Amino acid sequence: MIENPYHTSVLLHECIDGLAIKPDGIYVDVTFGGGGHSRAILEKLGPNGRLFAFDQDPDAWRQAEKIDDDRLELITANFRHIQKYLRIHGIKEVDGIMADFGVSSFQLDAAERGFSTRFDGPLDMRMGPSASTDAAEVLNSYSAEGLQKIFGMYGEIKNARTLAQAVVQARTQKGLKTTSEFKEILAKLAPRSREFKYFAQAFQAVRIEVNQELAVIEEFLEQAATLLAPGGRLVVLAFHSLEDRLVKNFIRTGDCHGKEDKDLFGVVHKPVESVIRKPITASEDELKRNPRSRSAKLRIAAKL
């Protein structure tokens, strides 16, 4: 499997093994990104196999153009619409679905995208150009209560209220436009020696709000369970606890919030069953090669 310098795929071999690919099967990679997983899936497919890949990021579209393979169909849309677009292509059932919820290395390293805490750039953070809200709008227009909610829920920041008030106070003097201006506020409130983690938590919170990431995951999981053929595999790679909790709950109960659907005999009805005892994490070797794999959790389930 040839890696792409655009993005180093995390747990690549484990993800592909988890799909249990049939040479003539139909598969979906809902987060094409740099194409690492898609390329690996194509290597396993026979001449009659098919792969549908989703991505809303124009940078990912350019990567897809480099793959000359008639078996690949790129869909330039958010994967929250997976069922709709597969139906357009005449697909009602698939043999496996792969999702990697991590932000790509390219997105993090491109200062103009506004995802990175390391570079100065505009407060953007949109995964795709069709997003109606960017980070600047969130930070400049949300109420203190609204900001407190996203910092607390999506960033799991302990002093979320104080941070929200600080943002509101700062923007009364001057509207926030760049990531550096946001970081100046964060630096004054970050716990000593934990500044980097604090920055990452705050940026994560705003990014999740901008892209409605948790709502998208919920919508995707519900549709994925419907689309999978009996025995079909669902392979999901999550990078923080909020995402992973939704996936874990869905596999365990069929509901992203863990609400069990039991019959009169106490049997839980759910669409998929985990095929591994616990989530797969990166090996020591992978951690050395790719530090961004340290928070990854891979869950694999099969359609009942």
pLDDT score of 3 more than 60 = no
Mean pLDDT in residue range 186-191: 97
Mean pLDDT of the chain: 95
pTM of the model: 0.93
pLDDT score of 228 more than 70 = yes
Q: Which residue has the tokens 């194409």?
A: 35
User: What is the reported pLDDT for 150?
Assistant: 98
- The pLDDT-based confidence of 2 (bands split at 50, 70, 90) is very low
- The pLDDT-based confidence of 7 (bands split at 50, 70, 90) is low
pLDDT score of 281 more than 60 = yes
pLDDT score of 69 more than 80 = yes
Mean pLDDT in residue range 120-133: 93
- The pLDDT-based confidence of 5 (bands split at 50, 70, 90) is very low
- The pLDDT-based confidence of 71 (bands split at 50, 70, 90) is very high
pLDDT > 90: what percent of the chain?
90
pLDDT score of 182 more than 50 = yes
- The pLDDT-based confidence of 8 (bands split at 50, 70, 90) is confident
User: What is the reported pLDDT for 109?
Assistant: 79
pLDDT score of 1 more than 90 = no
User: What is the reported pLDDT for 188?
Assistant: 97
User: What is the reported pLDDT for 105?
Assistant: 73
